[in-house]
Amino acid sequence: MGRSASIVVGIPKLGLNVYSVVSSLLAAGWSYDDHGHISYLPVGDRGEFDWQWAELDRWPEVAAVIKSKEGEGELVGVSLVYEDTGSGGEFLLNPSDDSLLFSLTINMRDVQGVSGVVDFTWYLERLIPAILRVGLSIEYLECNQL
């Protein structure tokens, strides 16, 4: 049986800063290179989670999609991995409830020496500074492993 893990972060005023948070994550070492392509949710997805893929050189177009979705108050979804580790997953930034859901689906990292237990600290150390760098605060954090 597989396992799943996620991190939920409550970020007041996220709805007005979705693109800034994504940009800050990229500046902090996260990459949109998801196995050679960009994975993202299109404009007008309306909860269908019809993930789209684009070539890496099309990031400016995907960034425009993110900005458009932010302007419309739509759920923004983009898959990101951290630097050369290949660890990451889907980031869902929800302006309607000011939350970021990070589903850890790509090369999940375990606590060193403890197989099967997700190292949430590793992810949080690479996530929280990027959020704070934008000038936002964190209202709550939830880390879940099933």
Would you say residue 124 has pLDDT above 80? yes
Question: What pTM did the predictor assign?
Answer: 0.95
At 1 the pLDDT is 53
Per-residue model confidence as pLDDT tens digits over 15-48: 999 999 999 999 999 999 999 999 999 999 988 9
How does pLDDT run across 58-117, given as a tens digit for each residue? 999 999 999 999 999 999 999 999 998 999 999 999 999 999 999 999 999 999 999 899
The single residue listed with the structure tokens 């939920």 is 8
Nearest to 102 by CA among 45, 129, 141: 141
- The pLDDT of residue 46 is 84
Instruction: Say which residues have a Cβ less than 8 Å from residue 60's Cβ, sequence separation at least 6.
Output: none
2 pLDDT tier (thresholds 50, 70, 90): confident
Q: What does the block give as tokens for 26? A: 């990229």
Neighbours of 75 (CB within 10 A): 18
Rounded distance between C-alpha atoms, residue 108 and residue 145, angstroms: 11
Radius of gyration, CA atoms only, the chain:
15
Q: What percent of the chain has pLDDT over 70?
A: 99
Predicted pLDDT at 78: 98
